[in-house]
Amino acid sequence: MSVNVTTGSNGVNPLNELITKFVLGATTIERGLMRVIPNQQNIVEISKFRTDADKLTALECTPSTPNDSMHKDFLQIATGGCQFYDTFCPEEDFFEDWSFLWATGRMTDSQAAPKIKGAIQETVIGSVQASLEKLIWTGDVDAVAMTWLDRFDGYVKILEADATVRDVTNIGIITVENIFQVLSDTKNASNAEMLERGNGTFLVSYKDIQKLYDAQGSADISKGVNVMDKGVAAYAGYKVVSCGIPENMVLFTNASSGSDSNLLGATWMLADTKGVKIERLQANSSEWFSLVKFRFGVNIMYGDDCAFYQGVVIP
């Protein structure tokens, strides 16, 4: 469809720029909270190996009975195809607007004004990145009515389906008054080995991080010792980072971009999510298109290393 245009007022001297709105984008990736594996067009399979503890036995001159402690299995990440596509007409959409937004060139070969192309490039990338962040967390949640989220399973669906994930007792929605209790319960539900390694991170929503700031600044709430490190919020010595996880949910796990991260993603090229193709629709047309195509999918490595608080069920 063409651009939905609201024209300016006649007789007013316009500012020679086109303002675009800032969006947060795919913060789980940009803040280094997940490992993204590139060059995957369909399904990537990751082999895992472990040896059980508590398998020691008494000495034998000739050991005869193996303890069956070694296990090899695998994890799969299936990528789903995603697309953004829209059209615009440089000749028609902006011809009543100010001259710096007009189409240039011959009528048979008109081009969009540089500021229009720049705005399309910037805002389409922002739209795609923000949508990808929602997919990463709430992709294919069954009760969600928005079919565009059905491209691949997000972390919330995966965490809910994994019986090894450590569920945290639900005390209701997260508020300024109870957020320290929620973080404490989530940490305490985690396995002791991960806590001892010290690489856990609390992941909270954009709104819930503000509740944490309010609680830390309140003189009426007992909070113990929680000191920010270079502007990063912390609780009990562990970082608290905001991302696209839904409000009233908290995930405590090893979240990083390194090979030991518990949050994984796969894609063909991460650059696909930031590259917009802007071209004429066809040689005899004045209409142009903007197109983004990419593949993406997520999974978790070890459910037992995840403590998940759900103060609300996604409607």
Q: Which helix (H) or strand (E) holds 212?
A: helix 206-217
Strand partners for 295: 81
* Nearest residue to 199 via CA among 77, 298, 302: 302
Determine the average pLDDT of the residues in 196-208.
93
pLDDT in tens, 7-32: 555 555 554 554 545 555 789 999 99
Output phi, psi for 50, to 5 deg: -145, 155
Q: Which helix (H) or strand (E) holds 171?
A: none
For 229-235, the CB contacts below 8 A with 24+ separation are 233/209, 235/180, 235/183, 235/184, 235/187, 235/202
Three-state SS at 88: strand
Chain centroid to Cα 256, Å, comes to: 13
CA atoms lying within 13 Å on the CB side of residue 77 = 28
Identify the pLDDT of residue 114.
Answer: 80
Tokens of 300: 């978790």
Tokens of 245: 């996880």
Identify the pLDDT of residue 21.
Answer: 55
pLDDT band with cut points at 50, 70 and 90 for residue 137: very high
Least confident of 115-119, 154-158, 171-175: 115-119
Identify the pLDDT of residue 24.
Answer: 58
Average pLDDT, the chain: 84
Identify the pLDDT of residue 231.
Answer: 63
pLDDT in tens, 153-166: 999 999 999 999 99
Distances (CA, A) of 47 to 71, 74, 266: 11, 4, 15
Determine the average pLDDT of the residues in 223-227.
58
Identify the pLDDT of residue 48.
Answer: 84
pTM above 0.75, yes or no: yes
pLDDT in tens, 257-315: 998 899 999 999 888 888 899 888 888 888 889 999 999 999 999 999 999 999 976 65
Tokens of 144: 């969600």
27-51+72-310 is classed CATH 1.20.120 = no
Tokens of 185: 């319960």
Chain centroid to Cα 114, Å, comes to: 31
Residue length, the chain?
Answer: 315
pLDDT exceeds 70 at position 92: yes
pLDDT exceeds 60 at position 129: yes
Identify the pLDDT of residue 240.
Answer: 95
The DSSP letter of residue 11 is T
Buried b (16+ CB within 10 A) or exposed e, 265-274: bbbbebebbb
Most confident of 93-102, 105-114, 252-261: 252-261
Q: Tell me which residue has tokens 């409000």.
A: 247
Most confident of 94-103, 163-172, 229-238: 163-172
Distance in angstroms between the alpha carbons of the first and the last residue of the chain: 31
Identify the pLDDT of residue 178.
Answer: 94
Identify the pLDDT of residue 159.
Answer: 96
pLDDT exceeds 80 at position 201: yes
Strands 263-267 and 238-243: unpaired
Chain centroid to Cα 110, Å, comes to: 38
Q: How far apart are CA 216 and CA 226, in angstroms?
A: 8
Q: How far apart are CA 146 and CA 161, in angstroms?
A: 20
